[in-house]
Amino acid sequence: MSFYKARILFLLLLITRLTYSQPCTNPATSNCADAIAGTSQFLMSTPGNADFEFNDMQKYVSGITLSGATQLRLKIDEQIVGQCKWRLMMYIDNNGYLPNNEWEPLNFYGSSGTVPELNLIQVKVYNGCGTPLNSGVYQIFAGNIQYDILEIIPPLPDPINLPGSCDGTNINGAGSYLSDYNEYNFNIDYRIIPGYSTRTGTYQIKINFCLVEIP
């Protein structure tokens, strides 16, 4: 390989890494078992679509809530005993639509009003032991921008929180929904109250749930 080819390859890889701005990036360690080819599991037992249809004034007034629309189940195995620690987060994605604080419009029905912003959707994460950050509380993506993050289990400093206490601690060590269901299962509710200033039409966003090991 010539020097120039190597330099071009290096620059391409550098650009690839720099433009990869999504929050879910490869971890630096391998203390936990892989969830794709290994024995760990990251399961979403619910459909991958959440549809909100506002076709009645009462829905505009009261909003629509989809309870338990998403359910995540984790089984985390460790590769190195006592060293496996993980983080679970969600981030919002508007498919690159600009401005990057708005939902992606698929079509418009009317001409008046404004396109809804990303902080419109409310999410509530909870489980039986209250392990998520802000468990049971409706939150918004307050940063109101593409790839804005809401932590479910934040990247905590040591020590690793192991299951079993069921006291609301952010459990982030090895364990399984099979043995500690209320600490490794996460239910997510969605709620939208659109108000009357939004432009009628069909809009879309994607909410990504990222499970990743942390050092």
Q: Which two tokens stand for residue 82?
A: 């006592």
Q: Which is nearer to another protein, 167 or 197 (CB)?
A: 197
| Cα Rg of the chain (Å, integer) | 20
Q: Which is nearer to another protein, 66 or 166 (CB)?
A: 66
Distance, in Å, from the CA atom of 114 to the CA atom of 105, rounded to the nearest integer, reads 11
Least gap, CB of 72 to another protein (angstroms): 7
Question: CB–CB of 23/147 below 8 Å?
Answer: yes
Residues between 177 and 206 with contacts to another protein, criterion CB under 8 A:
188, 190, 192, 194-206
Residues between 44 and 103 with contacts to another protein, criterion CB under 8 A:
44, 48-57, 60-61, 69-70, 72, 76, 84, 86, 103
Using the rule CB under 8 A, which residue among 18, 36, 81, 98 binds another protein? 36
Mark 32-48 as b/e (b = at least 16 C-beta within 10 Å). bbebeeeebbbeeeeee
Distance, in Å, from the CA atom of 50 to the CA atom of 157, rounded to the nearest integer, reads 34
Using the rule CB under 8 A, which residue among 1, 18, 81, 98 binds another protein? 1
Residues between 112 and 171 with contacts to another protein, criterion CB under 8 A:
112-113, 116, 121
